Every structure is written in C-alpha cells, then in structure tokens.
Amino acid sequence: MRKSTASRWSAEIEMQVQFFDLDPMEIVWHGRYVKYLEMARCALLDKIGYNYVEMKASGYAWPIIDMHLRYAAPATFGQVLKLRADIVEWESRLKIEYTITDAATGKRINRASTTQVAVDIATGEMCFVSPPVLFEKLGVPAP
C-alpha cells in the first residue's frame, strides 16, 4: 500500500550541520546522510509509538534491507536542515521516504528511502506480512 508524502505518518525535525560532519571539501560527507535519515526515522517512529525499544518489546526486529540516497546539492557547515520522513508502505514491509531540505529556503539537498522488514526475534524468520502490531500503531486494519 502506498500513501502520498502528505500522509498522516510523517515527521519533520531540524538540525544544524556540525563541523565533524564535513569532508575535506568542506561539505557534508555523503555517509553522514545515513545518520540524518536515522534521526528523521526515529522521530517518525516515536510519533507512532513504535520506536526500536517498542519493536524489540513486541518481539520483532526491523532491519533495513534496502537504502537509496539521491544527492541534489551539498550541505555546509552551520546550515540548518529540515529532515522529513514519511511512511509510504507498511503491509509487507516498512518503507520510509525522506526529504532533506535547507530549512531557510526549502531547496532540496537530498531525497532517500529505506526499506525495513519484520523479523521474528524468537525464530529469526523474516515475516512476509507486517505483524499486527505495526497496523495497530498506524491505526489501520490488518489485511
């Protein structure tokens, strides 16, 4: 199932680029964006009440199995970024799309997506349908 980026399952946070995130070219090193995605994802999962502690308590791990990043412009020291995360798929996997923009201008810096699957912690088996707890947290009926 797919929802638009105007879905009710979204979160936005702002953060300021720190010196330790820069590469020798004095722009944010490409690998740091993975951390930025994690920050936005945690804000989103907190918002639906199903962050990593709740996931583990429910008996499921949710490893990332796929990640795509598309860089449109560099971020620089001191720049304030807006990080947005939206849940766009949830029936058989948890797919989250991200947009990173300059907070002042709205100019797009990066677009990304991650895909996570539920793994039963007790058996180590991947679930082919998302567990009922995710549907409960999203407030939608399970298939």
CATH code of the domain in which 83 resides = 3.10.129.10
Beta bridge partner(s), residue 27 = 76
Q: What pLDDT was estimated at residue 127?
A: 96
Q: What region, left, alpha or beta, does residue 77 occupy, with left being phi > 0 and alpha being psi -120 to 50 degrees?
A: beta
Q: What pLDDT was estimated at residue 7?
A: 66
Please report whether residue 2 resides in a domain: no
Please report whether residue 66 resides in a domain: yes
**pLDDT > 90 fraction of the chain, expressed in percent and rounded:** 93
Please report whether residue 125 resides in a domain: yes
Both tokens of residue 36? 């930025």
pLDDT class of 4 with cuts at 50, 70, 90: very low
Which has the closest alpha carbon to 91: 51, 137, 131, 41? 131
Please report whether residue 63 resides in a domain: yes
For the stretch 49-60, pLDDT in tens is 999 999 999 999
Say how far apart CA 39 and CA 138 lie, in whole Å: 20
Model pTM score: 0.92
Please report whether residue 50 resides in a domain: yes
User: What is the distance of C-alpha 115 from the center of its chain?
Assistant: 9
- 3-17, 41-55, 109-123: least confident range: 3-17
Phi, psi of 71 (to 5 degrees): -95, 125
Which has the closest alpha carbon to 67: 110, 19, 34? 34
Please report whether residue 29 resides in a domain: yes
pLDDT class of 143 with cuts at 50, 70, 90: confident
Please report whether residue 126 resides in a domain: yes
Q: Which domain holds residue 32?
A: 10-138
Domain count, the chain: 1
User: For the purposes of burial, counting CB atoms within 10 Å of the CB of 40, is it exposed (0-12), middle (13-18) or buried (19 or more)?
Assistant: buried
> Is residue 85 a contact partner of residue 91, using CB atoms and an 8 Å limit?
no
